[in-house]
Amino acid sequence: MLTPADATWPNLWLCLAGVGGMYLVKHVFSKKNPAPYPPGPPGRPLIGNLLDMPQVKTWLTFTEWGKKHGDISHIEVLGQHIIVLNSVKTALEMLDKKGSMYSDRPVLPMGGELCGWKNSLALLPYGDRFREYRKNFHRSFGSRAAIDMYHPILEIETHRFLKRVLAKPDQLQAHIRHTAGAIILRISYGYEVIENDDPFVEIADRALDQFSQCVAPSAFMVDNMPFLAKVPEWFPGAGFKRMAREWHKTLEDMATAPYKFVQDQMAAGIAPKSFTSNLLEGRTLSVEEDHVVKWSAASLYAGGADTTVSAVYSIFLAMTLYPDVQKTAQAEIDAVIGPDRLPSFADRHSLPYTEALAKEVHRWNVVAPTAIVHSLSEDDVHDGYYIPKGSLVIPNIWFMLNDPRTYANPSEFNPERFLAKDGKEPETDPRTIGFGFGRRICPGLLFADASVWMSTVTLLAVFNISKVVENGVEITPEVDPLSGIISHPKPFKCSIKPRSAKALELIQQDANY
């Protein structure tokens, strides 16, 4: 199977000569900058900082740049300016307060153009179509009152998740993915998944894995040399073109198949209410309107099918490593809810420690460590530094949520940091950082937060999660997040058992409504 490295680098270095020529011409005839660029690693002739751009766990390299160069770092790769932001203050000043300038997306030759993700909200250029997508999302997910409508779905699908985990605890990751897919498919399209090997869940998993690969910074040479997008597939080193063709088809299938399902259900008069059916109801759509509805739904589907997977998996990791935190939360749940029922959203305001635990999940496991890159639509001078039009701007969210200036002992999983105690104010709510900034902030943040809370409180109500013992040896999982635009905890083993006979009854009771 081709990898990004196999498909990108071989036989392409000769192209650097042409790029070098263009780079020299550009610099000879470029106008004088109104201010210096932000500081950063020194570049090399012709290629700039090409060799400095990290390939894996980019957020760690960006963090080192921040420690050395300050809150704003700058590199230049083959003429492309890249700005890394390493503080919340700077991210808010630039991405929020100057949102009209910093809300565009760059043209990504591999992920956006060749693979087709330019149609999704994640990579959509800033403009009228972007605003239409956001308007559609806001109607369904823009307020807590709107999210309340989805509480029954979250509760019932989380209950079904408990049953799957009870039956096959060794397939935890698969159960989390299945449940995330089940929730978002019901909300997006009114589709109920089948219990095993659901085709819509499977195709979303493939498409989102491919998305994480195809938009990763510097994973494909074509993103640094866009002219390579025009080379034929048979050209030496152009394996990325074949890969992109296959990935484009996966994405198109992911967007089209469930959309057609809703259309067919509506034609038959049996479609349940969903995000898509609400947008289609009583309308005859133009080609543009059809595109907006289809890809709004696909964006919701894509956005909800993978991000919560990372967060929920990390709950199990944290509880395995921090048993005292687990016991404290369970004591609170037992005192408030008791042993005779499962938690519901009506209990949320009565469980402050569990609420803090869910917040800590968002901080400790950073789902999108560097978010998706922003693009600057016009020249800017910020804090005395020149940021040229077209610069790629990357907020290092991982460091912002692990900054010791903001969070005491950031590597430690400690929900109490979010509780006022002994006259000490709670630390910064990670949900104001982890979902991005400005006009590109995640539109489903309220729904994601509700999903993580429901998973947290329900799991802790009925399961004890602990380290696995193999051959008499206790296995301690490693905290080692995997690379990707969406980062997941490294796979690990844990023991998952019902807390009591009564908890077992609650898990096994009917999960329908």
Write the DSSP symbol of residue 190. -
Rounded average pLDDT over 397-401? 98
Distance CA 264, CA 285 (A): 16
Question: Tens of pLDDT along 322-379?
Answer: 999 999 999 999 999 999 999 999 999 999 999 999 999 999 999 999 998 999 999 9
State the average pLDDT for the chain.
90
At residue 385, the pLDDT reads 97
The tokens describing 486, both together, are 């969406």
* Structural contact between residues 402 and 427, judged by C-beta atoms closer than 8 angstroms: no
User: What's the sign of the alpha-carbon dihedral 37, 39, 42, 47?
Assistant: negative
Write the DSSP symbol of residue 341. S
* Structural contact between residues 83 and 392, judged by C-beta atoms closer than 8 angstroms: yes
Question: Tens of pLDDT along 49-84?
Answer: 888 888 889 999 999 999 999 999 999 988 889 999
At residue 54, the pLDDT reads 87
Residue whose token pair is 């995000």: 275
357-381 exposure pattern, b = at least 16 Cβ within 10 A, e = fewer = bbbbbbbbbbbbbbbbbbbbbeebe
3-state secondary structure of 315: helix
Rg (CA), the chain: 24
Residue whose token pair is 């259309």: 263
* Structural contact between residues 94 and 383, judged by C-beta atoms closer than 8 angstroms: no
Instruction: State the pLDDT confidence band at 180, using cuts at 50, 70 and 90.
Output: very high
Distance CA 494, CA 491 (A): 10
Instruction: List, in sequence order, every beta strand (DSSP E) within 357-405.
Output: 374-375, 380-382, 385-387, 392-395
Rounded average pLDDT over 286-314? 92
| Distance (Å) of CA 46 to CA 54, 213, 217, 408 | 18, 27, 20, 43
CA of residue 204 relative to chain centroid, distance:
14
46: left (phi over 0), alpha (psi -120 to 50) or beta: left
| Residue 245: how many other CB atoms lie within 10 Å | 12
Which of 139-143, 233-237, 427-431 has maximum average pLDDT?
427-431
At residue 13, the pLDDT reads 41
459-495 exposure pattern, b = at least 16 Cβ within 10 A, e = fewer = bbbbbbbbbbeeeeeeeebebebebbbbbbbeebebe
Rounded average pLDDT over 411-421? 95
pLDDT value at 118 more than 80: yes
* Structural contact between residues 395 and 83, judged by C-beta atoms closer than 8 angstroms: no
* The model's pTM: 0.89
Distance CA 42, CA 54 (A): 15
Distance CA 345, CA 455 (A): 11
Instruction: Give the total residue count for the chain.
Output: 513
Q: What is the DSSP string of 214-280?
A: HTSTTSSGGGTSGGGGGS-TTSTT-HHHHHHHHHHHHHHHHHHHHHHHHHHHHHTT-PPP-HHHHHH
- Answer with the residue of higher pLDDT: 273 or 9: 273
Question: Tens of pLDDT along 238-276?
Answer: 889 999 999 999 999 999 999 999 999 999 999 999 999
The tokens describing 480, both together, are 């080692």
Amino acid at residue number 331: A
Residue whose token pair is 């489903």: 444
Residue-range domains of the chain with CATH? 4-506 (1.10.630.10)
